[in-house]
Structure 1
Amino acid sequence: MSQSFNILKQPKPFYLIFFIELWERFGYYGLQALLSIYLVRQLGMEDDDAFITFGAFSALVFGFVSIGGFVGDNLFGTKRTMVLGALVMMIGYLVMALAGHDQAVVYIALGCIAVGNGLFKANPSSLLAKCYEDGDNRLDGAFTLYYMSINIGSFLSMTLVPYIAEYFGWGTGFMASAIGLLVAVSNYFFMRHWVRDLGSEPDFRPVLLKTRVLLYLGIILACGVSAWILHYLLLANILLALVSSGALLMFIKEIIRAGGAERRKMVVVLILMLEAVVFFVMYMQMPTSLNFFAINNVDPVILGITINPVTFQSLNPFWIMIASPVMAWIYNRTEQNGGGPSMPLKFALGMLFTSVSFLVLPLAAYCANQQGMVSSGWMVLSYFFQAIGELLISGLGLAMVAQLVPERLHGFIMGIWFLTSSAASVMAGYVAGLTALEIDDLSSAIDTLPVYSQFFTDMGLFSLAVSVCMLLSAHWLNRMITD
């Protein structure tokens, strides 16, 4: 029985990091729940333009993370950078709440949010990795529970914020995100003594005034540039390609400099990151094509209660909250006994579950009623499979980096892990836009249903093929890690 509760026996700093991440994600996912619909209904964008803009914004969000990891590791300190990022994001949400119909102000707000998220995102997970010694068998369980904090925050915001926006207006909905950041920062300052002895090397020395000034000026410049390039999506994609290529080249350089087992492990990290790009393209359909499918073709009734169809997105974090402690217990149990699936096999199984999450939707379309509406139960099932896949890939991605990458590179490589999400976001925006192009001239649920059905079939079959390739290569990759 005691083994069942080992997953909860984490060091005290874990719980501080857990709640900081929870409230920061409450803010971000509140924005995500509303953004694509806000762009269409408030700013008057076409669906495909909204999806592509959302993808470009998401790319900026994740694209800055490797920079934030570098700043935390080498310049400003992990803890200082984390707090600074949260404050910049809070400013972005406040500006978003005041933007109204002004597209230029919206882009300024999104630029601040992207830069703030980049500064914040890699550093809590980097700080968490420093709580554990090499070989500590609690690590997989800790990162799974940490991932659960993300989904508690997102579940609360994806459930509540659409209703706040519906009844009190868009600005109040975005203000709720700002309040989430305020709670996160306040939580840190009340309990920061728990992490007094943890952090990167710059956390334990004064920061020169020159460094502070240059960093603050760089943040202001980055926010302005981000707002500007959102006006020019092609330029945004080019800049993302340059940042991604630069980070990839730096990663490859580190692989070449390494040797022996360290090099082999880093090669596996690179391969798994490339596989994860496919997963994140699938995952980013949730706030775009899946969201609009729910609005257009899903009966918004669960257990006899009519809901706002936007809140179907909250099914993803709901299932993750249910499954996270179960899977953390499984990891703890199997790894204590020296068994359990390897990291490459977990990734492969995650992709398989993800493909199933899309392949059930064409079956749902086949069972739709005469009005072209699908039962909400199919969305519950789809999001269940997606959540299991997410836990096996995205939920363990940070643990994979912590296990296989030298500690000196944790922040930087964790940033590159998030950069995979950035590249995938751009692809996902264009992929989701295919559905919008098809349904622009369609007006009824009966007309739009076959468009979505064919799209989800194609997505499911493609990811199924990728999962088969991953399953076939899992043993070989595991040998590279263990030999």
Structure 2
Amino acid sequence: MASILTKDSVTPGTPGTPGSQWTFFGHPFGLATLFMTEMWERFSYYGMRALLPLYLVAPGGLHMSAGTATAIYSVYLSLVYLLALPGGWFADRVLGPRKTVAVAGLVIMLGHITLALPGGSGVFFAGLGLVAIGSGLLKANISTMVGHLYDGPNDPRRDGGFTIFYIGINLGAFAAPLIIGTVGEKVSWHLGFGIAALGMALGLILFLVGRRTLSPDSDVVPTPLPAAERNSLLRKSALWAAVAAVFYAIVVGTGHYTLNWLIVPITVLGLIIPVLVIARIKRDKDLDAAEQSKMSAYIWFFVAAAVFWMIYDQGGSTLSLFAESSAENSVFGWEFPVSWYQSVNPVLIMALAPVFAWFWLALNRRGKEPSTIVKFGSGLVLVGVSFFLFLLPLSIAEGGHKAAALWLVAIYFCQTVGELTLSPVGLSVTTKMAPAKYASQMMGVWFLAVTAGDATTGLLSTAGVDLNGRGVVALQAALAVVAGVAVWMYRSKVKKMMGDVN
């Protein structure tokens, strides 16, 4: 750690470093606190996520079908991103970002501890729910606190700070499957989940110890909830909770309860809520003509992103379950746990992100950088190509042979290149096209695209669709490629609606 610390790189009084001259790679030292917090939180999250579908189907786990496991995995991911929206609202109106992140860390840790406890599916799903709630609370707010460390959006260090923070995310995501996955698969599932709890505990401790290095803005509740509105919200929440409790008590008491009674409503909400949120913004009469036009253009990006994430996030479910049953998970005769595949994406991200940043800048200097629309369409085509590539190992497996591990690595490579083409662009275009009235909420709207994509996967799995079937894989691949080509073909129309946004 000492080798990455400098002194006097920023002026005294820099936001996030009250009374301190220490910096982190020339950035406010609060970035070190948030870097380590996020790294350990991602370690716990991605470690648990790598184990989740494997535990659900394992004879020593919950021994479910592959379809049910995929549905649960997809619903869980959609919930995490869906809850990011109320997570941001909770910080804005109730606790402020810093206290919300502290609460989120505690909830996530308790969730992992619950997952580590031996017990039936009820205990396991309770733990999964706690992790989803905590992740939603944290995801929306820790990035906000990174922004608080700098002197506004024009601070020249801001982009570099987020880049360093992004490295922390991928370091945690890379290490988690190697450690938690190995212990979970080879020693004990519950011990693996326990190590995830330990990772979150370390992140929470580092956050609490380093809280004084954060900006005072992170303690501020931007728009506090008035007492009357708070009481009304509590009454309504209690009423809906009571209605849900009574409904499910009746379903269970009459012997009609199955897992679908839980999965289907959540999946449907994951599809309906994104549509309602965007429709509400579009109907807002306070938006001027330019803002309305940009929101019309944004719908194109939103739908395309939902298609992208629908396929991309199956890397942790459909592909993982295929690897568990039908792949030769070895290199030069050395076998490795299936969960290790989940480390491929983060290591590729860390290796390729600087290359992409340099490449776009080099093209920009020559006046040849592709437009936002072309980059977006390329990401969709690439994720479609990854599933066309998936057809080859599927054919090998159908012939009674085990598919080589490098086939899966090649699929993850295509998806990662697609992610680097689409995801940063999507984040950027979201902030650029956001109406002024919804500037702070639009990032939550972007997360809803992930929710919609994962909810679609969950709904297909619940309906009994075999996502490892060659026809279904080919259909999804074709959908992504067609969507990418459509975005490219209508680029002039979308560009016109985007106005002054490039």
Deviation sequence 1:124-179 (CA, Å, 0-9, x none)? 23334454644667766665554443322211112221211123311111112212
The alignment status of 1:471 with 2:488, answered yes or no, reads yes
Q: Distance in 2 between matches of 1:320 and 1:21?
A: 17
DSSP-derived class of the 2:347 partner: helix
From 61, 76, 81, the counterpart of 2:80: 61
Give the match for residue 111 of structure 2. 92
Q: Distance in 2 between matches of 1:313 and 1:36?
A: 12
1:196-345 matches, within 5 Å, as 196-199=215-218, 201-202=220-221, 231-254=261-284, 256-331=285-360, 340-345=369-374
Could you tell me which amino acid in structure 2 is paired with residue 372 of structure 1? H
Q: Distance in 1 between matches of 2:73 and 2:242?
A: 17
The alignment status of 1:104 with 2:122, answered yes or no, reads yes
The alignment status of 1:114 with 2:132, answered yes or no, reads yes
Give the match for residue 25 of structure 1. 42
Cα 1:237–1:460 change in 2 (3 A) is: closer
Cα deviation, residue 249, structure 1:
3.2
Give the match for residue 448 of structure 1. none
From 402, 422, 425, the counterpart of 2:431: 402
Q: Distance in 2 between matches of 1:263 and 1:137?
A: 31
Give the match for residue 358 of structure 1. 387
Cα 1:202–1:332 change in 2 (3 A) is: farther
Q: Distance in 1 between matches of 2:176 and 2:388?
A: 28
Q: Distance in 2 between matches of 1:218 and 1:184?
A: 31
Higher relative contact order (CA 8 A, sep 6+): 1
- Does structure 2 retain, via aligned residues, the 8 Å contact 1:343–1:478? no
Larger radius of gyration: 2
Cα 1:210–1:248 change in 2 (3 A) is: closer
User: Which structure has more helix as a fraction of its residues?
Assistant: 1
Deviation sequence 1:325-352 (CA, Å, 0-9, x none)? 2223444555678763333332222112
From 150, 153, 161, the counterpart of 2:180: 161
Consecutive unaligned residues of structure 2, counting only runs of 5 or more, are 1-24, 249-258
Percent identity for Structure 1 against Structure 2 = 26
Cα deviation, residue 467, structure 1:
1.0
Give the match for residue 126 of structure 1. 144
Cα 1:416–1:230 change in 2 (3 A) is: farther
- Does structure 2 retain, via aligned residues, the 8 Å contact 1:76–1:203? no
Q: Distance in 2 between matches of 1:200 and 1:337?
A: 44
Cα 1:239–1:129 change in 2 (3 A) is: same
Cα 1:407–1:171 change in 2 (3 A) is: farther
Q: Distance in 2 between matches of 1:347 and 1:210?
A: 41
Cα deviation, residue 225, structure 1:
6.7
- Does structure 1 retain, via aligned residues, the 8 Å contact 2:53–2:70? yes
DSSP-derived class of the 1:75 partner: helix
Could you tell me which amino acid in structure 1 is paired with residue 403 of structure 2? V
- Does structure 2 retain, via aligned residues, the 8 Å contact 1:92–1:109? yes
After alignment, is 381-390 or 259-268 more displaced? 259-268
Deviation sequence 1:398-434 (CA, Å, 0-9, x none)? 3333333257634422222212212211211344578
- Does structure 1 retain, via aligned residues, the 8 Å contact 2:116–2:194? yes
The alignment status of 1:429 with 2:442, answered yes or no, reads no
- Does structure 2 retain, via aligned residues, the 8 Å contact 1:115–1:222? no
Give the match for residue 253 of structure 2. none
Cα 1:126–1:176 change in 2 (3 A) is: same
Q: Taking structure 1 as the reference length, what is the TM-score of the superposition? A: 0.82
DSSP-derived class of the 2:401 partner: coil
Q: Distance in 1 between matches of 2:65 and 2:446?
A: 31
- Does structure 2 retain, via aligned residues, the 8 Å contact 1:140–1:328? no
- Does structure 1 retain, via aligned residues, the 8 Å contact 2:171–2:346? yes
RMSD across aligned positions (CA): 3.8
Deviation sequence 1:429-456 (CA, Å, 0-9, x none)? 344578x8659xxxxxxxxxxx644443
Cα deviation, residue 111, structure 1:
1.6
Cα 1:369–1:260 change in 2 (3 A) is: closer
Give the match for residue 456 of structure 1. 473
Deviation sequence 1:164-199 (CA, Å, 0-9, x none)? 112331111111221222222222223333432444
Could you tell me which amino acid in structure 1 is paired with residue 430 of structure 2? V
Could you tell me which amino acid in structure 1 is paired with residue 475 of structure 2? D
Deviation sequence 1:13-68 (CA, Å, 0-9, x none)? 55543333222111111111111222222122222122212222222222211111
- Does structure 1 retain, via aligned residues, the 8 Å contact 2:53–2:321? no
Cα deviation, residue 277, structure 1:
0.4
Cα deviation, residue 258, structure 1:
2.2
Give the match for residue 97 of structure 2. 78
DSSP-derived class of the 2:328 partner: coil
From 185, 189, 197, the counterpart of 1:178: 197
Q: Distance in 1 between matches of 2:375 and 2:171?
A: 23
Cα deviation, residue 214, structure 1:
8.0
Cα 1:222–1:275 change in 2 (3 A) is: farther
After alignment, is 134-143 or 284-293 more displaced? 134-143
Q: Distance in 1 between matches of 2:98 and 2:242?
A: 21
Cα deviation, residue 245, structure 1:
4.0
Cα 1:140–1:328 change in 2 (3 A) is: farther
Q: Taking structure 2 as the reference length, what is the TM-score of the superposition? A: 0.79
- Does structure 2 retain, via aligned residues, the 8 Å contact 1:93–1:178? yes
